[in-house]
Chains A and B, each alone.
Chain A
Amino acid sequence: MIVAEQKDIAEIIPMTEGYQNILVIGCDTCVTVCLAGGAKEVAILACSLRLAARARGKKVQVDEISIERQCEKEFVDSLQSTVRGHDLLISMGCGIGVQTIAEQFPNLAVVPALNTKLLGLPERQGVWVERCQACGQCILDKTGGICPISRCSKSLLNGPCGGSQNGKCEINKEIDCGWHLIYERLKSLGRLGCLEEIMPAKDWSRSRNGGPRKVIREDMCL
């Protein structure tokens, strides 16, 4: 899932300066699971903004709503009647949600309340870790299901660098060496032979190097 975290309220408050009717919009999908932008967080942010305005002697209307998914136009379209009368929309979705709302409501100001951090999973209560960098060319079949792009700090493709020690990365002793994990995993699977295959230089044009990416399914296009 997409993992995000809320911006500091001190960063959000200045974004609302000059606006009188604000709508805080949550997303019930990824950011609800990572406790950043679901209905609960929307209620807290909206209440915080109302209190902050009143503490500064201002009167501001802050309403709240949360929709199923901010990253799909069909769901964002359901906001048509709700946004009426508001001059600022605060999205508590990931960066995709913010942009979908901005595209659907081109005449309204839209600002983000979250910082989108990573594609990952909850490791334990309150902790989320990165597992994918959406590089566009998955090689998990060769690495025992452990991604060297996201798990190795240097995104190396052919084994660890010389800096790892005792299974830990040289950049931070709390980070597991991705290639150590790959080795141990392949060993337990009896597939260490996979490591003898030399991986060629990665085609990074499928990642961010090729500019904004697009996926087209011709068979699905109408």
Chain B
Amino acid sequence: MDFTPAIVAFCCENSAYRAADTAGARQEGYPSNISICRLPCSGKLEVIHILKAFEEGADGVFVFACHPDSCRFLLGNVRAGKRIEHTAALLEKIGIEKERLRFFYLSELEWTQFLDLVRQGNESIKSLGPSPIKVKP
């Protein structure tokens, strides 16, 4: 089945967002089906943002936070990590595979890793197929 997943990537503006920007400036393409949502800090991400992304039709959600001990707001990435863990468990109980939610640590310099992660992530979401809430309207 030819399937192009809709993916939302929540990126901290102090790391992954800049990495994505660098990748773009270098004209290194990454899958166009990935919509980047800029966050002032990964700690700003709430459970409801992830759920809403799925409700609005996302097949996968990626969250990029700064590396441990590198958060400009000290614990934003720790908060994000805990919320992702909580949300993944919630998704599983709701009936959405937790593998559709991915969490990565990244620095602003790691633009090649950003490309690798979104390309690999895109393939893994593709292999999962459409989100169950889209399959059964």
Chain A residues at the B interface, C-beta cutoff of 8 Å: 8-10, 13, 40, 43-44, 47-48, 50-52, 54-57, 59
9 contacts between A and B (CB under 8 A): A44-B48, A48-B90, A51-B55, A51-B94, A51-B96, A54-B136, A54-B137, A55-B96, A55-B133
In the docked arrangement, what's the CA distance between A132 and B95, Å? 39
Q: Bits for B80-98, please: 1 = Cβ < 8 Å to A, else 0.
A: 0000000000100111100
Contact A52 B51 (CB under 8 A): no
Q: Considering the chains assembled together, what is the distance between the CA atoms of A59 and B137 in angstroms?
A: 8
SS of A interface (majority): helix
Q: How far is the CA of A47 from the CA of B52 in the complex (A)?
A: 7
Please indicate the chain A residues that have their CB under 8 angstroms from the CB of B55 in the complex. Answer: 47, 50-51
- Say yes or no: A51-B54 contact (C-beta < 8 A), given A40-B46, A40-B48, A44-B47: yes
Binding site for A on B (CB under 8 A): 46-48, 51-52, 54-55, 90, 93-96, 132-133, 136-137
> Is A43 in contact with B132, judged by CB distance below 8 angstroms?
no
Task: Report the minimum CB–CB distance from B74 to chain A (whole Å).
Answer: 13
CB distance from B137 to the nearest CB of A (A): 7
Q: In whole angstroms, what is the CA distance A43 to B52 when docked?
A: 10
Residue in A8, A51, A55, A56 whose CB lies within 8 Å of B51: A51
A182 to chain B, nearest CB (A): 36
Q: Which residues of B contact A59 (CB under 8 A)?
A: 137
Known contacts A10-B93, A50-B55; A55 and B132 CB within 8 A of each other: yes
B83 to chain A, nearest CB (A): 11
User: Which 9 A-B residue pairs are closest in the complex by CB-CB distance?
Assistant: A55-B95, A57-B136, A54-B133, A47-B51, A52-B94, A55-B132, A9-B93, A43-B48, A10-B93
Q: Which residues of chain B are near A55, meaning CB under 8 Å?
A: 94-96, 132-133, 136
A9 touches B132 (CB 8 A): no
A51–B54 CA distance with the chains assembled, in angstroms: 8
Q: By the criterion CB–CB under 8 Å, are B93 and A8 in contact?
A: yes
CB neighbours (8 Å) of A51 from chain B are 51, 54-55, 94-96, 133
By a CB distance below 8 angstroms, the chain A residues around B52 are 47
Instruction: Give A48's nearest chain B residue, CB to CB.
Output: B94
B51 touches A44 (CB 8 A): yes
19 further A-B contacts with Cβ under 8 Å, apart from A43-B48, A54-B133, A57-B136, are: A9-B90, A9-B94, A10-B93, A40-B46, A44-B47, A44-B48, A44-B51, A47-B48, A47-B51, A47-B52, A50-B55, A51-B96, A52-B93, A54-B136, A55-B94, A55-B95, A56-B95, A56-B136, A59-B137
